[in-house]
Structure 1
Amino acid sequence: TSNSGFPLDQNLYQTVKGISAAARIVEEGGRIFVVSECSDGVPDHGNFAQIMGDGATPADVLAYIKALDRPILDQWQAQILAGILERVEISVLSKMTKSEIEACKLNTIDNLDASLRDALLSYGEPRAAVLPDGPLTIPFVEGTA
């Protein structure tokens, strides 16, 4: 998936919207590949980076959120991403650094073609979907909508 270009691909916080669209059709244990510029990083402002950086796993992030006395700014987007990460693997090609991506419990993509080829080989006979306008798309698997 992509995040439909600027301004929607300006940071990872915004990119979760495209990831969320793709997650609607990915089977548990599957993988989402995200291509999003993220020129603004995670970003540094707001609470999203801090929340996603809390703990070692997506379950830790969700436990942190659940333990809060009251909702905090950006919590919902971290909660969505952590919930998706409990079901599927997410790999990101962007301008963010490897450490920024990995701090958010995501995998980095150095070469999209090689990553896609490796995934296709590892999944046997996978089904794939391409969402060039991720957050502007309502994907569904035929027969389930």
Structure 2
Amino acid sequence: MTYLPGETVRVTMTGKVGKVVPGVEEGDWDELSLDLDDDQGGMAVRIPLGWVNTRIERLVPAAGMPKPGEVWQDRNEQRYFVVVDAYGNPKFMTSKGSQYPVADILLVSSPLTPLIQDPEPESARAPSVDEEVSW
């Protein structure tokens, strides 16, 4: 499975602590380096991929959460137009009109990459000091 730098993931590992060994030995597993930030600078943790007792859930794509009006593509090159449902939740809509929750597509078809992203709307941008502002 492919992961992209910047994706937010949740990692769950199940096991018993056998012994604590300083340092990490190279293993036979492909690994994912997970950056953990805290108030002391954080650290990188290596996670074995393919190990039966490790579960990795994708939470946020590397490019951020999809917004209405954007077009995204999954790892299978399926394209989705981002719409919102009646409750304001973002959904992916296919060219045939089928709609899926973003979380469902993240789970089964990641990584997701944006093809067309909406720039920040002009109204959300603060004026610079050099701009004339009319009230």
When the two structures are superposed, what TM-score results if normalisation uses the length of structure 2? 0.22
More relative contact order, 1 or 2 (CA 8 Å, 6+ apart): 1
More helix per residue: 1
When the two structures are superposed, what TM-score results if normalisation uses the length of structure 1? 0.21
